[in-house]
């Protein structure tokens, strides 16, 4: 069953504007972590931001912030003041409680392609 | 910090060849590393979890005899695609994390093309 859902296959955003990328997740574990990664066309996966299930405050890292709504099981990424270099594929991922079976592995959503225009 | 190096970044070889991809954690030790496969315009699909000093744990549907994983040291895991065929052509990417509560850091990936 799909555990991470990203409903936006692609988005255009104008430079200097903010953009919100949607991510919903499904888990029955009380302890989990949510991650956002950026993948430019070159292929590398760049870690952006992390939110733990017990964190009281929404995570922020520079221009990235995570709108964590636990009851709704959503973890949307907000990119403020978009730059041309933000054009990339963005993946939401979840890590459930680490057990001997899971080893803390990540499950990824389908991704959202963001194109920033001048 | 938390740099993961993957080599080679790009390989083209003939059908039937075996190809080895290396994943190294350069500035931390990783008892666990992960191998993913990614088709164009798709998400990352976890293939296996590489455990130092023990057998890898493969995801359902991944042939362990086809994709051999060796994690001989705390800083190196290798993925060998044995007797590769054109359908094995893909982007392979590894990851590791410095600690259990740390995010996974990824290598730059390997683009494998089998002719």
From the list A35, A107, A110, which residue is nearest B103 (CB)? A35
pLDDT cut 90: percent of chain A above it: 81
**Cβ-nearest to B57 among A37, A91, A103:** A103
* Residues B84 and B14: beta-carbon distance below 8 Å: no
Q: Report yes or no: B105 at the A interface, CB cutoff 8 Å.
A: yes
**Whether residue B2 has pLDDT greater than 90:** no
pLDDT of res. A39: 97
**Is the CB of B100 less than 8 angstroms away from the CB of A106?**
no
Residue A1 has pLDDT above 70, yes or no: no
Q: Do A50 and B103 touch (CB under 8 A)?
A: yes
pLDDT tens digit string along A19-59?
Answer: 999 999 999 888 899 999 999 999 999 999 999 999 999 99
The pLDDT of residue A98: 61
Are the Cβ atoms of A45 and B106 closer than 8 angstroms?
yes
State the pairing for strand pair A106-108/A112-117: unpaired
- A104:B97 CB<8 A: yes
Q: Would the CB atoms of A106 and B105 count as touching at under 8 Å?
A: no
Q: Nearest to residue A6, comparing CAs of A28, A39, A54, A31? A: A39
Does A45 contact B44 at a Cβ distance shorter than 8 Å? yes
Which of B103, B109, B111 minimises the CB distance to A47?
B103
pLDDT band at B110 (very low <50, low <70, confident <90, very high): very high
pLDDT number for residue A30: 86
pLDDT for A102: 54
pLDDT at A28: 87
Joined together, the tokens standing for residue A29 give 């574990």
pLDDT of B37 higher than 90: yes
Span B10-35, pLDDT tens digits: 999 999 999 999 999 999 998 889 99
Q: Would you state the pLDDT for residue A2? A: 63
pLDDT band of residue B52 (cuts 50, 70, 90) is confident
Q: Which of A6, A98, A105 is the best mutation test for B, with the most CBs of B within 10 A?
A: A105
Measured CA to CA in angstroms, residue A69 lies from A22, A54, B43 at distances of 11, 12, 24
Q: What is the pLDDT at residue B75? A: 94
Tens of pLDDT, residue by residue over A68-100, are 999 999 999 999 999 999 999 999 999 877 655
Task: Point out the residue among B46, B91, B105 whose CB comes nearest to the CB of A105.
Answer: B46
Quick one: pLDDT at residue B106?
94
Instruction: Report the mean per-residue pLDDT for chain B.
Output: 92
């Amino acid at each position: 069953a799909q555990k991470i859902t990203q409903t936006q296959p692609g988005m255009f955003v104008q430079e200097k504007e903010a953009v919100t990328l949607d991510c919903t997740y499904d888990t029955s574990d009380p302890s989990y972590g949510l991650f956002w990664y950026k993948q430019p066309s070159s292929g590398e996966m760049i870690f952006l931001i992390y939110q733990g299930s017990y964190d009281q405050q929404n995570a922020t890292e520079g221009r990235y912030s995570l709108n964590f709504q636990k009851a709704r099981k959503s973890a949307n990424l907000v990119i403020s003041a978009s730059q041309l270099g933000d054009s990339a594929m963005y993946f939401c991922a979840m890590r459930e409680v680490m057990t001997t079976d899971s080893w803390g592995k990540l499950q990824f959503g389908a991704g959202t392609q963001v194109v920033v225009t001048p | 910090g938390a740099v993961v190096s993957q080599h080679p970044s790009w390989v083209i070889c003939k059908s039937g060849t075996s190809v080895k991809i290396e994943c190294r954690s350069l500035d931390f030790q990783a008892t666990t590393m992960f191998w993913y496969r990614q088709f164009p315009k798709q998400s990352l699909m976890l293939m296996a979890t590489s455990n130092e000093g023990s057998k890898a744990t493969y995801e359902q549907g991944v042939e362990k005899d086809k994709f051999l994983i060796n994690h001989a040291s705390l800083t190196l895991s290798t993925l060998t695609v044995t007797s590769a065929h054109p359908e094995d052509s893909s982007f392979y990417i590894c990851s590791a994390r410095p600690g259990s509560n740390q995010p996974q850091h990824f290598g730059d990936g390997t683009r494998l093309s089998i002719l």
